[in-house]
Chains A and B, each alone.
Chain A
């Protein structure tokens, strides 16, 4: 079993839809959880950063962490064609001072 599981997709939804992306993980010691967006041939761009369990909202993005289930989610409201990208979940033991463990990434396509 891999440390972080993420469905690679592709996930195709119409413009304006609510998108749900998720990851599961096996290491209960992870404390920090992140979502990054990556466009082709570019580095990952930070979208959300959360500590431990709970919800966090930023604009059209909502991140949820359920440590008891070892499950994290990212919701995108009012999806736009410009949201088409690969979304990577990542997690670490100690925040920015520790290397990150990434999921494989989900390729998201928003149809105009």
Chain B
């Protein structure tokens, strides 16, 4: 299956700052990547679908101006959490899966103080 790398694995920052998370598909050219969020002891929730060369598709209730997604190449999608606040603290995970099952990165643990 696809090998997915996510960076950084853990970030702590102050409230009000913006944080960028990178998701790379190392062995597969991905026209589609997905971003999920997981709160402690909760299931993964789909936030948005990242489409190479076009705008991302956001799930209902996810603020597109707060969670900026850029999928500029077939191997890289980025998620920027703008003006982060403590309630944005969570585990953010990306996946790749144009055909067949989705494969996930190891996630980014975001802590906003």
Contact = CB atoms under 8 A, between A and B. Distances in A.
B97 to A, nearest CB: 3
A41 interface: yes
Contacts of B106: 42-43
Given A99-B34, A100-B46, A104-B42, A43 B105 contact: yes
Interface residues of A, number: 25
Given A43-B93, A46-B1, A99 B109 contact: no
Contacts of B34: 99-100
Interface of B: 1, 4, 6, 32, 34, 36, 41-46, 49, 59, 91, 93, 95, 97-107, 109
Interface of A: 4, 6, 8, 32, 34, 36, 41-46, 49, 88, 90, 95-97, 99-105
